[in-house]
Amino acid sequence: MTARWAALTAYSTGTIILPTVDNGRCFYASVGGTSAASEPTWPGRYPGVVDASVTWVPYTIVTPQTIRDLNGWDSTTSRYSDTVIGNHILDAIGELEKATKRHFVNHPGITWQQTSYGRPILPLPGFRSVSQVIWQGSVQTAGLTGTGGGSGYILLPDVQQTGVNIGISFRPLRTPDTNGPWWLSLGTQSGNWFDTGADNPFDPRNYGGGYVYTSVEGDCVVTGDSGYAPGSEPNPFVGVLEVLSSWHQERTLSLLADSVITPQGGVLQFSAMPPEVRQFVSDWSAGTQVVSVG
């Protein structure tokens, strides 16, 4: 588990820490040393912050040196400095998370809010753990072990089964049939749903009886840790992050055009994202992964 920053503590290069109060980021020591007596103001960009003899930078999964090694770039050239490449990595992370609608870098202690319109299934950006869920104005309890149980919510995993959840369900999934209403699918646990009024046709879990439902804006609030814990990010994301970070780095050479001539005499086109990135976005995009009828 990632430790929190502590005063007057020795940290080696590469150590990853959390602030004492979660701010949605974690940080790693690009230069090791001993921390100061008071906590620094945490940065959102490179070159980071100097904390006595430690330098902290936002955690980026891959380091600027990784990108330099991959492309054979000279670290003594200012254009390929940690600050320049580090910010391109941060931009690439943001772009991939925006395009896929899911978090890959560790986002500890965040609050995710959306309007449900009474829908029983909502998309999430990839929570690996949840500490609280509020829906329709009420705190929900976690579902029972197994499928189709519980009186509050059940988290829905991503299709890659990588340990994060990209959906949340507030009732079991059931299609209409002749065997009765959906809550009967709970079997011996159906009493939990009667206790919460789920048998009422006007309950939001039943789409308001089929003809009307209401929702207060931002009525679904999920709090927890999203993204992957540092060091556990899936290899496909790490690989495509290296590609997109390199693409951003070279893209600066063609800001007034869509192509650039390489030292070998070839032509790089920048009018479209690299094919690896486009395929990754297609394969890993989140959204409403499950549909429930009735």
Number of domains observed in the structure of the chain = 2
Residue 88 domain-assigned (yes or no) = yes
Reported confidence tier of residue 140, pLDDT bands at 50, 70, 90: confident
- The verdict on pTM exceeding 0.75 is yes
Residue 148 domain-assigned (yes or no) = yes
Torsion of CA 148, 151, 152, 153, to 10 degrees: -10
Structure confidence by residue, pLDDT tens digits, 198-240: 666 666 556 544 555 566 788 899 999 999 999 999 999 999 9
Q: Is pLDDT of 255 > 50?
A: yes
Q: Let me know whether 57 and 115 are in one domain.
A: no
Cis omega before residue 263 (within 30°)?
Answer: no
Q: Let me know whether 123 and 71 are in one domain.
A: no
More confident residue, 35 or 216: 35
The token pair at 262 is 């390489």
Q: Is pLDDT of 112 > 70?
A: yes
Strands 16-18 and 3-4 come out as: parallel
Could you tell me if 21 and 108 are in contact, meaning their C-beta atoms sit under 8 angstroms apart? no
Q: Let me know whether 98 and 243 are in one domain.
A: yes
Q: Let me know whether 70 and 172 are in one domain.
A: no
Torsion of CA 226, 230, 236, 238, to 10 degrees: 120
Q: What is the CA radius of gyration of the chain?
A: 23
Amino acid at 254: S
Q: Which domain holds residue 279?
A: 3-102+239-284
Q: Let me know whether 33 and 70 are in one domain.
A: yes
Cis omega before residue 47 (within 30°)?
Answer: yes
What is residue 183's predicted lDDT score, i.e. its pLDDT?
Answer: 61
Structure confidence by residue, pLDDT tens digits, 148-159: 444 578 899 999
Q: Let me know whether 192 and 162 are in one domain.
A: yes
Residue 294 domain-assigned (yes or no) = no
End-to-end CA distance of the chain: 42
